[in-house]
Structure 1
Amino acid sequence: MRNISDLIEQYLKQMLQESPEGAVEIQRNDLADRFSCVPSQINYVISTRFTMEKGYMVESKRGGGGYIRIKRVDLPSLNAIQFHIHQTIGECVDQSAAEGLIYQMEEAALVSRREANMLRAAISRDTIALKLPLRDEIRARLLKSMLISLLAR
C-alpha cells in the first residue's frame, strides 16, 4: 500500500496533467481535508517532490485567500536539454541535485525507468566512494556524459 505522501503526489500530478495550462492552484487546507492529513503534510510533499530540480516551479501566496501554484517546467528541445544539463550540473553536483535531474528526465520520458535506475546507481555515493569535493566533480562528469549520450540516441 502506498503512503499518504505518494497519494498526494499522484493526485497533484494528475491535476497537472489534466490542466490545459500545465499549472494548478491549490489551497493547502482544502487538500489536507481531502486527504485527512495535517497541512504540514501537504507542505512536505510539495517541498520534496515538486522541486525545481524535478521540473516544477512552486509559488505561494499566504493569507486568507492564499494558494499554492505548481507549474510543470518542460524541456523543449535537445539543445535546450543539453544546456539545462550543463547549467544544472556544472563542474560538480551533489547526489540530491543529480537524482533530481534524473527524476526530471524520467518524468519527461527522456530516459526510461531502467536507464534512470542505472544512472542513479552510477552516481551514488556508494559507487563513487571518494572524499568530497572529488566525488561531486566525478559525479558531474559522469552524469553529464551519460545523459548527453542517452539523449543523443
Structure 2
Amino acid sequence: MASKSALSMVERLQEVKKSSNKSYSQIAAETGLTNVYVAQLLRRQAHLKPETVPKLRAALPELTDDLISEMMRPPFRSFDPDLLQEPSIYSMSAIDFYCSVDKISGVDGKDRVVVTFDGKYLPYTEQKSEHMLSRPRN
C-alpha cells in the first residue's frame, strides 16, 4: 500500500495534468512517449528518465523541481496475488512491452477505443540442471 505522502505526490501530479487541460495523448505526442506511459509517470508507476525531463517540462510547465525529482525515483509498485495466478498475464514481459490507448471513429461515426498491447511473450521454461551452463558437465 502506498504511503500517505506518496498519495499526495500523485494527487499533485494529477493536478498539474488537470490544470494543463491536456489529455494523456496530447502530452504523449509532445514528449514522444505513449499515452499509457505518460499516465504511469503521472501516477508514479513509471520511472522518469533524465533525457525525458525537458520534454515533459515543456508539455507540463507547472511541474515543480520536487515533482520532477520524485518522478525520477524508483516508481511505486503494488502487489496483487491474484494477478500472479493468471498465466497469460504473468508470462507477458514488461521489460519489452508497449501499451497504448487510442480513440478512433467507428464506421457509424461513433467514438471507439483501441487498446494495443505489444509485448514479448515469455513461455514457461522447465529449468533442467543440464541446461545450466555454469554447472560443470560430468
Q: TM-score range by the shorter chain?
A: under 0.3
**TM-score normalised to the size of structure 2?**
0.25
**TM-score normalised to the size of structure 1?**
0.24
Higher helix share: 1
Bigger Rg, which one: 2
Higher strand share: 2
